[in-house]
Amino acid sequence: MSTTTLRTQRELPRTRLHGRRRPGFWVEIAASALVILLPSFVASPYLMRLFQDVAIWSILALSLTLVLGFTGQISLGQAAFYAVGAYTSVILQTALGVPALLAWVVAIVLGMALAYLISVPLLRIHGHFLALGTLALGLIVETLLVQLAPITGGHDGIRIPGVEYLGEWMQLRFPYIVLGTLVAAYWLVRNLTQHSMGRAFFALRDDPAGAAALGIPVARYKTLVFMIGGGLAATAGVLYAHHTQVVTPDSFGFDTSIEVLLIVIIGGMSSRLGAVVGAVVIVFFPEWLVFLEKAENLVFGLVVLAILLFLPGGVVGGVRTFFSGLARRRETHHPEVAS
């Protein structure tokens, strides 16, 4: 299937200038600084809340971008790691009195540990079946959150009042922590994918057998990607718990896994910026388009179908194709467009 190969190649992040500092590098630095400093010049608490929503969804979406977009492993259970992060952190702090920072570290490590454990059986399955397997995992965790009521609080969840557990100083600066973590997660994914290991991930996605033949340790790298993805999702969960100050099973179910998937598709599956763009779309659009109200899910579903059909690279991919199309105008006609 030559068309398939060409298409995947076109969706790859551009790697031509690897090793040299692209002008894009300084844009990324500037944008990162801007994002971290956002809380100091956004006065409206409402707007700041939305920005934190965006940041948390972005981190979660980055975890899926890494697993799905870059490495081609379909995960429909990303909310499971998100839940482990949030619940571990909250339970450690509220029930056991563990200090916040330590609880966060333990929560993230536990998220990665679950990813490691689960990757062992999941390595046996690929493609569609992997999607089914991760779906089952997400559903199991979702049900356990409700049923293990003595530990998780069941449907009511657990409250974690901010000032009480974080202290006033940290509670006031929590927006900086959220946005700072987003920037850190972004750079983690960025540097990982520009590293030789990231190239190996792309190879895993595009041609697993070929990658294995080239000496890429397929199983080890898949496990690693799951673990980093699980860790990122758990991090998002930790932040979410303090952001909303309550955790309930509703926020960590199948719908959440699907919402992350929508974010990744809307933004662009193989683009780290796509995760952020998709999160902006999914957080801000319902706020602006209030008239959509109940039709929100329907509209998003249709938008995603349209993107899959007409803009498989998502918003970021579309913009990128547009600009590279402009640049190539005068060059020879591209064969892949003709095919």
**Which spans of this chain sit near other proteins (rule: CB under 8 A)?**
1, 3-4, 6-8, 68, 72, 74, 76, 121-122, 124-129, 131-133, 135-137, 139-140, 143-144, 147, 254, 258, 261-262, 265, 269, 294-295, 297-298, 300-302, 304-305, 308-309, 312
For residue 245, the 8-state DSSP code is S
Query: Measured at the alpha carbon of residue 246, what is the angle toward residues 48 and 181, in degrees to the nearest 5?
Result: 45
Single out the residue of 283, 284, 263 nearest to residue 275, CA to CA.
263
Place of tokens 């909310």: 79
CA distances 198 to 120, 224, 289, Å, are 21, 11, 38
59/52 Cα distance (integer angstroms): 11
Burial of 297 (0-12, 13-18, 19+ CB in 10 A): middle
Alpha carbons within 13 A on the beta-carbon side of 334: 13
Around Cβ 158, how many Cβ atoms within 10 Å?
A: 20
Tokens matching residue 104? 């966060």
Contact 94, 158 (CB under 8 A): yes
CA distance 87 to 117: 18
Indicate the residue among 233 and 262 with the shorter CB distance to other proteins. Answer: 262
| Residue matched to tokens 């199991």 | 140
Count of residues making up the chain: 339
- Residue 7 CA to residue 81 CA, distance in Å, equals 31
* Distance from C-alpha of 212 to C-alpha of 281, rounded to nearest angstrom: 38
Q: Token digits for 213?
A: 């033949």
